Amino acid sequence: MSLPETHVREAITHMLEVSAEARSLFGSPLRLADAPGQRLAFPYLGWGRVQCRDRAAPDLDLIEVRQDLLVWDREDQIHQLTGQLRQILRRGTLPDLSPWVMMSLLPVFTDSFQTRRPQIRRGLIRFRALIASQEDIPT
């Protein structure tokens, strides 16, 4: 994974770790799976698809990163959990990601899906982050 994607994941993780509400929902330490197939106590989080696009402009190295965050839980709670998680991350303070500067981090898409196990659902929150190289930001 390139540095921009790593930094976006670190930012999301940090925002969740410092949120008392997120810790009450997903434990402390966070039940956050780095790879698919890791089974944790419900509810838990996992990383999904990531996309990275160059959005550079003259004199600005700008990168767009789209990162999926997955939420796994019982069927009757998944919509409430994804909504709470989306709000936690919208209210969060963006951490310092030196040598990058996070221009924005916003949830742009939320959905839920049935899994092979009928009583378990998977929620999806897709984030769109714009980050720039710190050396390109005028001081």
With H, G, I as helix, E, B as strand and everything else as coil, classify residue 132: strand
Banded pLDDT at 36 (limits 50, 70, 90): low
Q: State the CATH number of the domain containing residue 72.
A: 3.30.2000.30
**8 A C-beta contact, residue 124 and residue 111:** yes
The H or E element spanning position 50 is: strand 44-54
Q: Is 125 exposed, middle or buried (0-12, 13-18, 19+ CB in 10 A)?
A: buried
pLDDT at 136: 57
pLDDT at 1: 45
Please report, as a single letter, which amino acid is at residue 96: D
SS (H, E, C) 77-116: HHHHHHHHHHHHHHHCCCCCECCEEEEEEEEEEEEEEECC
- Determine the structural domain holding residue 8 and report its residue range: 3-136
Quote the number of domains for the chain: 1
- Its pTM surpasses 0.85: yes
pLDDT in tens, 78-135: 989 999 999 999 988 888 877 888 888 999 999 998 888 888 899 999 999 999 877 6
**8 A C-beta contact, residue 30 and residue 23:** yes
Banded pLDDT at 32 (limits 50, 70, 90): very high
